[in-house]
Structure 1
């Protein structure tokens, strides 16, 4: 008796996942490395040499040079005339503009933010969460010559910032404790010598109050207040931030005069 050959297909290969959950079969490492080069530039490091980019990316000098050359040829990096340094090119503005233009909640909120800035005279920002960071996606500068400047694209650690605290406040305490424990030393230092319970209290307080306020010593001292923006389903999607100087508004004045205006703006967005 002849036996028919087996027609059963081989079992599909299991996804090859790293500890961080990334499927190695789909992940393009070279793209990640190119993004490392682009993300090396920030407000304080707008022009960088290949050596500096190598130090910031850890890719190795040869690899860094190849990625810089490719990004330069594609128009995403610009080489400064007479120097061996590069900066991000205006071509990236188009990508950023597409992102911001497609942010419907921000576009909807913009007239309200303009009115809040006019009424307070202070810097007003639309802030969203991006992983462990917050990023400023919209900003109306203060009318005052000396003020807190938060240009669009500014990125900060979320946990110590007032905007980050209202954006994370809805998370369960157990999840917040995990994030607190995982904070880099440089970020945790912003909380001074507070223990985990004391740090957690910043978030539980923001959750109960519906806002967060932080004070920083930046020359004249700054005061930052943030209020969450929620969508129709009650999900926190952004924060409205007002930043001022203590020389103009101390903490009491911020709470009694400015905070109610920010809260009302966020409420108006829910009702609209």
Structure 2
């Protein structure tokens, strides 16, 4: 084992519940000989990766690592992170993936990953669709309190189809379901024959919020595939939310995550 890989193993020992480590911890967690663990911790301290906790023999991550973490967080935008997740899922399932943002009562697609199936859904980047009548829009609207949603739609709206919310009360009812389940779904709403599943995530530092979406022809996806898409989107968004510390993130309901394949 190289000194670099050993140092990485030490850093992986830290977590939200383990803020510092000792030689004994490394022996237990990594199966490392005591003498090797002691030398490694001292070397990482001398190189500025770790620091000792007062006069004790406990070691914790240094200020340098904290600075690197902040740089990493701001080096990639929320859209970049979300697009990477959707791109991976789109490649796995073969269906079209989008990243969208909300602009008032509209949703605008900002990135897309076309599916590879013969039957696939394609929407032009930059096109605007009604937020209330799309899974991406409702995933983002669910992040708002109901009073703010009422203000957005104070003038009402005209549903584009029978499967879209028909009035404000129905929209609020669907948003309540979205908040409970952790995802939004549309079927034959803005686009006929198309089904879409979306989750949302935000970055409180920048104020940005995005929806991660997979869309597909409704007739070709099995119930098992649908659940797999929901789970993949939920897990990917949760990883981003943990990085951005998104206080409004809505995780998948445990029963949905557990029943998904």
TM-score (norm 1): 0.54
Distance 1:105 1:241, change over 3 A: same
Shift of 1:232: 5.5
Aligned equivalents of 2:113, 2:230: Cα separation in 1: 17
In structure 1, which of residues 121, 127, 132 is the aligned counterpart of residue 94 of structure 2?
121
CA contact (8 A) 1:232 1:270 kept: no
**In the alignment, is residue 264 of structure 1 matched against residue 235 of structure 2?**
yes
Q: CA deviation at 1:236?
A: 6.7
SS in 2 for 1:264: helix
Paired position in structure 1 for 2:150: 177
* Residues 1:192 and 1:152: Cα distance change in structure 2 (over 3 Å): closer
Match of 1:197 in 2: 169
How many residues are treated as equivalent by the alignment? 168
**Residue 71 of structure 2: aligned partner:** none
Distance apart, 1:164 and its partner CA: 0.7
Residues 200-219 of structure 1 correspond to what in structure 2 (within 5 A)? 200-216=172-188
Q: What corresponds to 2:257 in structure 1?
A: none
For the 8 Å contact 1:180–1:199, the answer to whether it is kept is no
- Name the counterpart of 2:218: 246
Task: Write the distance in 2 (CA, Å) between the matches of 1:189 and 1:115.
Answer: 31
- 1:194/1:110 CA distance change after superposition, 3 Å: closer
DSSP-derived class of the 1:237 partner: strand
d(CA) in 1 for partners of 2:81, 2:233: 16
> Aligned-pair RMSD on alpha carbons?
2.8
Query: In the aligned structure 1, how far is the partner of 2:229 from the partner of 2:146?
Result: 29
| Bigger relative contact order (CA 8 A; separation at least 6) | 2
Pick one of 143, 146, 159 that aligns with 2:132: 159
Match among 141, 148, 151 for residue 168 of structure 1:
141
Long gaps (5+) in structure 2:
1-74, 244-261
Contact 1:121 1:143 in 2 (8 A): yes
Do the aligned partners of residues 253 and 234 (structure 1) sit closer, same or farther apart at CA in structure 2, a change above 3 Å counting?
farther
Structure 1 residues without counterparts, runs of 5 or longer:
1-101
Q: 1:105 to 1:180 in 2, by over 3 A?
A: same
Q: Secondary structure of 1:184's partner?
A: coil
Confirm or deny: 8 A CA contact 2:120 2:216 kept in the other structure: yes
1:137 to 106, 110, 125: 110
- CA pair 148-182 structure 1, distance change in 2 beyond 3 A: same
Q: CA–CA distance in 2 between the matches of 1:155 and 1:161?
A: 11
Q: What is the TM-score when the length of structure 2 is the normalising length?
A: 0.56
1:1-272 map, 5 Å: 104-185=77-158, 187=159, 194-216=166-188, 221-231=193-203, 237-250=209-222, 252-253=223-224, 255-272=226-243
